Amino acid sequence: MRLQEYIITTIPVFEVTDSLKEVIHFFTHSTYSHVAITEEGQFMGLLGEADLDSFQETSPIEEFRYQLDAFSVTAEATWLDVLEVFTRNESNILPVLDSRNQVVGYFDLNDIVELFTDMPFFTEPGSILVVEKHLKDYSFSEIAQIVEGNNTRLLGAFITTIENETAQITLKIGDANINEVLQTFRRYHYSIISGSTEDKFLEELRQRSDYLDKYLNV
């Protein structure tokens, strides 16, 4: 997956000596949450749309130097790194820097989310399963062994939450031998989060899969 292909170069970058009037115009005519600010071509940070009410058209950006948000990624960042920065900073736009600390463009959150939902985890047919175990006791190799040992495909897995020393792991698995997979997880002392009985849990899995299919077909 080449994220560089999704770098947008048509969104402006403002110099610290520019007037806030231009920044106000940008935010008024776009839906973006931030815009990059540079000083002599070097990235300084970002102005946020949330500060729009405090902007004065006649003031230079310089007056807001110490209110800039300092987040960015490099062109070599992975999609997971990019998504993490978006989430941590509640932004829908992300400046991309080169090795000289210059802004080469932006990533748009919508493009990154679209890349995420195009992955096999979402597009391949299967079922969503959520299991839970103490942080020190689970391993992804064990999870893969449990699923694949029951002749079921493991399409993806990631940690959903960590709380009170316990991790919840969301899995996408094939539809074959789900009962056997569930029973094996329980034998290995994993809790099944989505239900307490086999029939109820399997029905919830079907409902989740149907919802996901509808979402992906919109």
**Domain extent listing, the chain:** 3-116, 120-216
Shortest CA distance to 80 belongs to which of 159, 144, 13, 133? 159
**What does DSSP say about strands 103-108 and 93-97: parallel, antiparallel, or unpaired?**
antiparallel
Whether pLDDT at 102 is above 70: yes
119: helix, coil or strand?
coil
Whether pLDDT at 200 is above 70: no
Q: What is the average pLDDT across 80-91?
A: 88
Q: What is the reported pLDDT for 195? A: 38
Q: What is the average pLDDT across 166-193?
A: 90
Q: What is the reported pLDDT for 184? A: 94
Considering only residues 19 and 212, tell me which one the structure prediction assigns the higher pLDDT: 19
Q: What is the average pLDDT across 168-197?
A: 84
Tokens, residue 87: 């989430």
Whether pLDDT at 202 is above 70: no
Whether pLDDT at 4 is above 90: no
pTM across the whole model: 0.65
Q: What is the reported pLDDT for 187? A: 94
**Distance between CA 27 and CA 158 in Å, rounded?**
36
Whether pLDDT at 203 is above 80: no
Q: What is the average pLDDT across 178-185?
A: 91
Domain topology for 3-116: CBS-domain (3.10.580)
Q: For the chain, what is the mean pLDDT?
A: 86
Instruction: Please identify, in words, the CATH class of the domain defined by 120-216.
Output: alpha beta
